[in-house]
């Protein structure tokens, strides 16, 4: 390989490296901006006035515009359809999330309410705690959310009161309830002793800023090494040997 060929080969490789790492840094900044915008949007929705049952029902199952909005709903619990979701940690402890359908007042449809966390009996894993559930009309405040998150599950879906995951369509068939495709994270004090320290969405935009800084640093290093070994160092050597550097 001639010196000229080697020079242009290194130049093209360096330009590609600088361009790629710089573009990855820009992409990380765009991801940070997207996540920050998402976090801001969620916070803005959470600060809006609470929706009532009529507003939730009028959406006709269109979930996305309602997510993260606060709600104040009236209805009656359907305790016989309660499910205890297993392996759900909260505040560093493992236990159950109690999910009970709420039949909304003035309508036959129902909404799953994630009422809170309860510890489990590790001596008898088939036992569930007794949680008092009023039979008359109640008012539930909370935050609209997607259906309960799914965990990895071996084999067929579980049935019964203790389940690893909860499928709304299956529960609707089993109970005969017209369940809406969303849930409510119940908030406020719990007279039943349920823990309600629900995690808030965090964009982690700072991580993307850190990744962007790393990519930009790599781009700068690649550009600096190219400039030193291909431009500055050869010129210095020619100057030291008495050659014209121009």
Query: What b-and-e string marks burial along 98-111, b requiring 16 or more CB atoms within 10 Å of the CB?
Result: bbbbbbbeeeebbb
Residue 200 CA from chain centroid, whole number: 9
Q: pLDDT band for position 110 (50/70/90)?
A: very high
Q: pLDDT band for position 153 (50/70/90)?
A: low
Domain ranges for the chain, please list them. 43-186, 210-246
Confidence at residue 244, expressed as pLDDT on a 0 to 100 scale: 52
- Between CA 162 and CA 185 the distance in angstroms is 19
CB 234 within 8 A of CB 226: no
Confidence at residue 156, expressed as pLDDT on a 0 to 100 scale: 47
Q: pLDDT band for position 5 (50/70/90)?
A: confident
pLDDT in tens, 168-217: 998 999 899 999 999 999 999 999 989 999 988 777 888 999 999 999 99
Give burial (CB, 10 Å; 0-12/13-18/19+) of 71: buried
CB 205 within 8 A of CB 35: yes
Residue 206 exposure: Cα atoms within 13 Å on the Cβ side: 1
Helices (H) and strands (E) in the chain, counts: 5, 7
């Amino acid at each position: 390989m001639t010196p000229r060929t080697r020079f242009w080969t290194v130049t093209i490789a360096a330009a590609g490296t600088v361009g790629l790492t710089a573009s990855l840094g820009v992409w990380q900044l765009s991801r940070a901006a997207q996540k920050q915008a998402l976090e801001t949007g969620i916070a803005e929705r959470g600060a809006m006035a609470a929706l009532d049952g009529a507003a939730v029902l009028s959406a006709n199952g269109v979930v996305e515009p309602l997510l993260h909005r606060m709600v104040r709903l009236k209805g009656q619990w359907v305790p016989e359809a309660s499910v205890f979701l297993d392996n759900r940690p909260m505040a560093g402890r493992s236990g159950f999330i109690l999910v009970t359908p709420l039949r909304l007042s003035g309508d036959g449809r129902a909404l799953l309410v994630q009422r809170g966390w309860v510890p489990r009996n590790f001596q008898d894993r088939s036992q569930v705690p007794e949680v008092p559930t009023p039979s008359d009309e109640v008012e539930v405040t909370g935050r609209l959310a997607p259906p309960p998150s799914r965990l990895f599950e071996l084999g067929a879906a579980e049935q019964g009161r203790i389940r690893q995951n909860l499928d709304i369509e299956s529960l609707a068939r089993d109970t005969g309830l017209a369940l809406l495709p969303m849930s409510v994270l119940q908030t406020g004090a719990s007279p039943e002793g349920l823990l309600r320290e629900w995690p808030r969405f965090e964009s982690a935009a700072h991580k993307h800023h850190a990744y962007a800084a790393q990519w930009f640093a790599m781009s700068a290093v690649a550009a600096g090494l190219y400039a030193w070994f291909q431009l500055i160092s050869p010129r210095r050597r020619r100057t030291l040997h008495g050659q014209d550097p121009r």
